[in-house]
Structure 1
Amino acid sequence: MPSDEGAGGTDTSVRLTWSTLWRQPTILVARVGQRDVVTAACPIAVDMGLRPGMAAAHARALVADLEVKDAQPEADRAFLDRFALHAVRHWTPTASVSGNDGLWLDVTGTTHLFGGEARFSRRLLRFLERLGFAASIAITSTPGSAHALARYSGEAMTLLPPGDETEAIANLPLAALRLDPDALMTAARVGLERIGDLYPMPRGPLAKRLGLSTVQRLDQARGMIAEPIIPVIPFEAPLVERRLLEPISTADSINQVIGDLVDDLCAVLQQRGVGLRTAHLACHIVDGTEQRIAIGTARATRDERHVKRMLAMRVERIDPGLGIEMMMLAAPRIEELKAQTIEAGFGLGDQAPDIAPLVDQLSGRIEPHSPFRLSAHESDVPERAVRRIAPLVAPTGWPGWKRPVRLLRRPELLSNVVALLPDHPPRRFTWRLTDYHVVAGDGPERIHGEWWRSAREMWAVRDYFRVEAEGGHRFWLFRRGDAVDEETGDLSWHMHGVFG
């Protein structure tokens, strides 16, 4: 795994331990064979001489007021899995659980986003401290050395330059190499205690005495053998494919294969209890190129007929070229879809029809994001009081104020305005090169600026009027300023909406 700073990759190992959550010394024990063994100890218990791997009976004999709790390895593993998924979403795309008390993070090419390796490590330590954990971090070029230094170096943060792994781990105990218990017992009988003791030994006798896995672990830690990190996968998109015996190029044959793919995909969705919101169809052409089309649904669905109809509407966008030899259909975005209770109204109720298929067909024929609804938004300024929402989202309640049917995206400046100040509507004005003579008007409705959003709106004032011009045109326009204080506006007139 190449690094930005030199040869080798950049692997981070993070070891989580118990922080001081209780004032009383506390240990966790688990049943190993015929005895209870300490699996974790709080810092107070560690200061009293208790260590993981010690017999629980020995720990109770050493500390009188010791609090003993059962270890929960499954819960610990579940927490590490969630933490690895958090790391994938926020820090690096490659993360994996390391042992039963830490994580591996491949931070090659990502630490510059956080200000460098040192700053990233400090930020990670503070994050774990807020969660109630103490931790030690080692960033090296190999996963094996990072694992060893994070657990046995005694330092909270270790940043090792590439190529220094052999020297850095030489004085660490053999347990730092993740050796088998039998290999550790054999090494202890022959007087091998440190990793550096293995360096001068010939490979053949070393492998025969301590096992081939010991040689492999040693070479992995020193960077002589690659040790890939198997990352966690946050989400595995449902995927089906068809490899064709002969290339196809006609619309009918393409639709037939699409139908088979949709049937297979909906079966997978049924097993998972989900429905698709987005589907991607990839067509591999004989010449090595690829054609892609995508559909989206307003609501999660696994209705085969509906999905086939949606894809058939876009088949014309596929250029088969010399022929399609393989087709793949994936659902990168899915949502939970379970059975729903149907109300037994016997046809007497006024149940609203499901418009999701209609919205999907409209989206397929026009732009995908064109169908939308309008919903009220909490704001005093009219152009901010309306927002676009998804077509199936229920809009919030509308205010009781009278507003035009058509509101302009931005207020448009009026010219040649004749009006009496300060509280009268204009008598005439010009808008879009057309002159209008006002025959009736109502107002003003005063709206103040939202001073908490911008300092320019601290004293801003708009006086809105509803006016009717000759010919029956009805407009909603406003004047900037209250015609008393200059800070409230420049007295310019603007068109903002049209009634009817």
Structure 2
Amino acid sequence: MPRVVSVFLPYLPTDRIRRADPDLPAETPVVVVARSGAKRTISAADVAALKAGARIGMQAAKAQAMISHLHMVDADPDGDAAAVERLALWMLRQYTPIVALDLPDGVVMDTEGADHLRGGELPMLTGLVNSFRGHGLQARGAIADSWGAAHALARAIRRETVIVPPGETAKAVVNLPISSLRLSADIVSSLGVLGFRTVGELAATPRAPLALRFGPEAGRRLDQMFGRLPEPIEPIRTKELIEVSRPFSEPIGAAETIAKYVGKLVVELCALLEQKGQGLRRADLVVHRVDNTLQAVRAGMAKPVRDVPRLTKLLCSLIETIDPGFGIEKMSLAATMIEPLDLKQALSSLIEETVVDVTPLLDTFGNRGQRLYRLAPVQSDVPERSIQRVAAMAVKLGESWPTRWPRPSRILARPEQIEVIAMIPDHPPASMIWRGKRWRIKRADGPERVFGEWWIRETEMEALRDYYSVEDEDGHRFWVFRSGDGLDPETGSAKWFLHGIYG
């Protein structure tokens, strides 16, 4: 079942003004003025302006006289549309192969089979909205089974995120206003005169009288909202995007046939990439079914690739996720992320030992939903800050692992408090209780004193830790520390914590 995400940008024009002028005070009301001949009206207003009494459609002169310190900017619909397009292209690279514009103030995307890469629908949608907020754009998002339902919910419900469980779209939209059906203003006004207020009331009305008076549009929008009529999301494409496609005179559906044409598309795409000196980092295979719906699979590579057999094998391994339905009438393969590719001449094995390339294995695991990374050192004495996750094939950062003191093979995400018996100020524990079990310490090494990083937090100006490597009677080895020097309360609480376990 398709799952559609609709992102609504309610204050896009005014958010763009504030992004362009960061020095504009947050409390200053901002409005956008549209011109129609000599008439000047407000076409958009931010929260501060709305609270001050500005309204969409109000005369600009009236708003200026009523609201002091009102910041007025001429409307720029082309700039707004270009901003929405840039956001859609960013979402195309980050989230799913099927992303389209929902002008004038939104983006829509089909995330069927892609949300698991983001931890599920809720983390994906929350992270998306937070990303927009971090860039100064207020956004609301909704997920439903159809474009019409997601579009309506994102605009009618004031929460930042709305997720309708699969199969419950009808229950979620019946109480929405009829203005959420994407009908023309004239039709909405006429329906209101007849007494229709909600989508449920309109859906319960016989279809023939509606079609006779308003044409087929009202019924079509209802069917699209309830998912009875497919509404394909045509993926956004730009002139710079490298894409190849293959239409079919007769629909195809067998896995072997799909694989054959995937191979042909890969050959064509690699030829275009070679002309531009580029390698493929992410490829999107989109299939157009005869029932007017789309399905897509995405393959990512750890580093730029232009190897036809390897790319073909990688994409064909994902064919099992495609449901051809009653047949596929067109297939497209797009390079949604590319990077320059420098092919180096392989040296003779007599001169240099051949290096085994593990990136095909990494690509295989990565496209099965596994998040691959490696750990890299960071210049910090505080253990939890001395490690970071980097891409599996990221270049070396120039830092080296600490060698002055041994570190355990496993460091806990958060140090866990333990109860110990120890002499202060600088003796290791004689015994400790961790997770309800007592461990008697037989050997210990330390202390290794780690000071706080005052340039990161002022509270670490006096803070320190004393670390010990300890071993119990059965040979289990742990990495523990005391917060503070055991004498001065300003250096720490004198509580003990277990931070790591030796393998």
Preserved contact between residue 111 and residue 120 of structure 1 (Cα < 8 Å): no
What does 1:72-221 correspond to in 2, within 5 Å?
Answer: 110-115=12-17, 120=20
What's the counterpart of residue 389 of structure 1? 390
The offset of 1:334, in angstroms, is 0.3
What's the counterpart of residue 377 of structure 1? 378
The offset of 1:489, in angstroms, is 1.3
Preserved contact between residue 300 and residue 334 of structure 1 (Cα < 8 Å): yes
Preserved contact between residue 313 and residue 365 of structure 1 (Cα < 8 Å): no
The answer as to 2:445 corresponding to 1:442 is yes
Return the match for 1:355 from 342, 355, 358: 358
Q: Which amino acid aligns with 1:483?
A: G
Q: Which amino acid aligns with 1:238?
A: I
State how far apart, in whole Å, the 2-side matches of 1:161 and 1:265 are.
41
What's the counterpart of residue 302 of structure 2? 298
What does 1:261-340 correspond to in 2, within 5 Å?
Answer: 261-340=265-344
State how far apart, in whole Å, the 2-side matches of 1:120 and 1:366 are.
38
State how far apart, in whole Å, the 2-side matches of 1:386 and 1:121 are.
37
The offset of 1:348, in angstroms, is 4.4
The answer as to 2:496 corresponding to 1:496 is no
The answer as to 2:483 corresponding to 1:480 is yes
Preserved contact between residue 313 and residue 364 of structure 1 (Cα < 8 Å): no
What does 1:207-246 correspond to in 2, within 5 Å?
Answer: 236-246=240-250
State how far apart, in whole Å, the 1-side matches of 2:72 and 2:427 are.
75
Q: Cα 1:159–1:399, aligned 2, differ >3 Å: closer, same or farther? A: closer
Q: Which amino acid aligns with 2:330?
A: M
Tell me the TM-score normalised to structure 2 length. Answer: 0.54
Q: Cα 1:382–1:282, aligned 2, differ >3 Å: closer, same or farther? A: same
Aligned residue pair count? 294
Tell me the TM-score normalised to structure 1 length. Answer: 0.54
What does 1:451-462 correspond to in 2, within 5 Å?
Answer: 451-462=454-465
State how far apart, in whole Å, the 1-side matches of 2:298 and 2:75 are.
46
State how far apart, in whole Å, the 2-side matches of 1:141 and 1:330 are.
40
SS in 2 for 1:365: coil
The offset of 1:248, in angstroms, is 2.0
CA displacement 1:272-325 (0-9 Å, x = unmatched): 110110001111122222111101111101101111111122111112222222
State how far apart, in whole Å, the 1-side matches of 2:73 and 2:355 are.
63
Preserved contact between residue 463 and residue 481 of structure 1 (Cα < 8 Å): yes
Larger-Rg structure: 1
The farther-off stretch of 378-387 and 312-321 is: 312-321
The answer as to 2:366 corresponding to 1:464 is no
Output the aligned Cα RMSD.
3.2
CA displacement 1:250-285 (0-9 Å, x = unmatched): 221211121111111111111111011000111112
The offset of 1:426, in angstroms, is 0.8
State how far apart, in whole Å, the 2-side matches of 1:323 and 1:413 are.
60
CA displacement 1:220-261 (0-9 Å, x = unmatched): xxxxxxxxxxxxx98711101111122222221211121111
SS in 2 for 1:471: coil
State how far apart, in whole Å, the 2-side matches of 1:384 and 1:255 are.
46
State how far apart, in whole Å, the 2-side matches of 1:490 and 1:122 are.
43
Q: Which amino acid aligns with 1:406?
A: R
Q: Cα 1:251–1:141, aligned 2, differ >3 Å: closer, same or farther? A: farther
The offset of 1:159, in angstroms, is 5.7
The offset of 1:384, in angstroms, is 0.8
Q: Cα 1:109–1:242, aligned 2, differ >3 Å: closer, same or farther? A: farther
SS in 2 for 1:466: strand
SS in 2 for 1:393: coil
Q: Which amino acid aligns with 1:498?
A: I
State how far apart, in whole Å, the 1-side matches of 2:357 and 2:262 are.
25
Q: Which amino acid aligns with 2:15?
A: L
State how far apart, in whole Å, the 2-side matches of 1:405 and 1:120 are.
48
The offset of 1:365, in angstroms, is 3.4
State how far apart, in whole Å, the 2-side matches of 1:389 and 1:371 are.
9
The offset of 1:338, in angstroms, is 3.1
What's the counterpart of residue 413 of structure 2? 409
Q: Which amino acid aligns with 1:387?
A: Q
CA displacement 1:309-365 (0-9 Å, x = unmatched): 11122111112222222111101110111332333x443422422222222122233
Q: Cα 1:255–1:285, aligned 2, differ >3 Å: closer, same or farther? A: same
What's the counterpart of residue 341 of structure 1? 345
Q: Which amino acid aligns with 2:293?
A: T
State how far apart, in whole Å, the 2-side matches of 1:115 and 1:347 are.
63
Q: Cα 1:357–1:122, aligned 2, differ >3 Å: closer, same or farther? A: closer
State how far apart, in whole Å, the 2-side matches of 1:234 and 1:285 are.
23
State how far apart, in whole Å, the 1-side matches of 2:339 and 2:367 are.
20
State how far apart, in whole Å, the 2-side matches of 1:121 and 1:450 are.
35
State how far apart, in whole Å, the 1-side matches of 2:444 and 2:492 are.
22
Q: Cα 1:482–1:121, aligned 2, differ >3 Å: closer, same or farther? A: closer
Q: Which amino acid aligns with 2:327?
A: G
Return the match for 1:365 from 355, 358, 368: 368
Q: % of aligned pairs identical?
A: 40
The farther-off stretch of 298-307 and 333-342 is: 333-342
State how far apart, in whole Å, the 1-side matches of 2:367 and 2:22 are.
49
State how far apart, in whole Å, the 1-side matches of 2:290 and 2:413 are.
49
